Structure 1
Amino acid sequence: MSKLFVDASLQKKLASGVQLLDKHDISTQTPTNQLVFLYSPKSAFLGTAYLSEQNKGVGWFLSPKKLKLDVAYFRALFEQARQKRRAYENDSQTTAYRLFNQDGDNFGGMTIDRYGDYALFSWYNAFVYENRQTIIEAFQLVFPELIGAYEKIRFKGLDYESAHLYGQKAPDTFTILENGVAYSVFLNDGLMTGIFLDQHEVRGSLVDGLATGKRLLNMFSYTAAFSVAAAMGGATETTSVDLAKRSRELSKAHFMANDLPLENHHFVVMDVFDYFKYAKKKGLRFEVIVLDPPSFARNKKRTFSVAKDYHKLISQALELLTENGVLIASTNAANVSKAQFKKQLEKGFGEVKHTYLDFKTLPADFASNKADAQSQYLKVFTVKVEQ
Structure 2
Amino acid sequence: MTKTIDVQVNAKNIADIKKGYPLILKEAIINPDALREEGSIIRLIDRNRKFVAKGYYGNQNKGIGWVLTRKEDEEIDFDFFESKIAAALARREALFADPETTAFRLFNGEGDGIGGLTIDYFDGFYMVSWYSEGIYSLKHHVYGVLDKIVDYKGVYEKKRFDTKGQYIEQDDFVKGEQGEFPIIVKENGMNFAVNLNDGAMTGIFLDQRDVRKAIRDNYAKAKNVLNTFSYTGAFSVAAALGGAVKTTSVDLAKRSLAKTIEQFSVNGIDYEQQDIKVMDVFDYFRYAKRHELKFDLVVLDPPSFARSKKYTFSTAKDYPALLKDAIAITEKNGVIVASTNNSSFGMKKFKTFIEQAFNEAGSKYKILEESSLPKDFRTNRDFPEFNYLKVVILQKLK
Normalised-by-shorter TM-score class:
over 0.9
Q: Structure 1, unaligned stretches of length 5 or more?
A: none
Q: Give 1:1-387 correspondences, 5 Å limit.
A: 1-27=4-30, 28-32=32-36, 33=38, 34-66=40-72, 67-143=74-150, 145-157=151-163, 161-350=170-359, 351-387=362-398
Please state how far the C-alpha of 1:323 moved relative to its aligned partner: 0.9
String of CA shifts for 1:339-359, please: whole Å, max 9, x gaps: 111111111111411100111
Please tell me whether the aligned partners of residues 209 and 234 of structure 1 are also in contact (alpha carbons under 8 angstroms): no
Q: Which has the higher contact order (CA 8 A, sep 6+)?
A: 1
Are residues 160 and 209 of structure 1, via their aligned partners in 2, closer, same or farther at CA, if it must alter by over 3 Å?
closer
Partner Cα separation in structure 1 for residue 218 and residue 44 of structure 2: 51
Partner Cα separation in structure 2 for residue 62 and residue 72 of structure 1: 13
Please tell me whether the aligned partners of residues 231 and 238 of structure 1 are also in contact (alpha carbons under 8 angstroms): yes
AA matched with 1:107: I
Please tell me whether the aligned partners of residues 186 and 193 of structure 1 are also in contact (alpha carbons under 8 angstroms): yes
The size of the alignment, in residue pairs, is: 386
String of CA shifts for 1:53-98, please: whole Å, max 9, x gaps: 1234211011111333322111111111011111111111000000
Partner Cα separation in structure 2 for residue 316 and residue 114 of structure 1: 37
AA matched with 2:153: I
Please tell me whether the aligned partners of residues 5 and 34 of structure 2 are also in contact (alpha carbons under 8 angstroms): no
Partner Cα separation in structure 1 for residue 142 and residue 327 of structure 2: 48
Give me the CA root mean square deviation: 1.3
Identity %: 40
Please state how far the C-alpha of 1:209 moved relative to its aligned partner: 3.3
String of CA shifts for 1:89-124, please: whole Å, max 9, x gaps: 111100000000011001101000001110000000
SS at structure 2 position matched to 1:356: strand
Partner Cα separation in structure 1 for residue 276 and residue 174 of structure 2: 34
SS at structure 1 position matched to 2:385: helix
Partner Cα separation in structure 2 for residue 280 and residue 371 of structure 1: 43
Please tell me whether the aligned partners of residues 8 and 29 of structure 2 are also in contact (alpha carbons under 8 angstroms): no
String of CA shifts for 1:216-247, please: whole Å, max 9, x gaps: 10010000100001111111100010000000
Please state how far the C-alpha of 1:210 moved relative to its aligned partner: 1.3
> Which 4+ runs in 1 deviate beyond 6 A?
none
Partner Cα separation in structure 1 for residue 265 and residue 301 of structure 2: 23
SS at structure 2 position matched to 1:154: strand
Are residues 367 and 383 of structure 1, via their aligned partners in 2, closer, same or farther at CA, if it must alter by over 3 Å?
same
Partner Cα separation in structure 1 for residue 370 and residue 212 of structure 2: 13
Partner Cα separation in structure 1 for residue 301 and residue 149 of structure 2: 35
AA matched with 1:5: Q
SS at structure 2 position matched to 1:29: helix
Please tell me whether the aligned partners of residues 74 and 139 of structure 1 are also in contact (alpha carbons under 8 angstroms): no
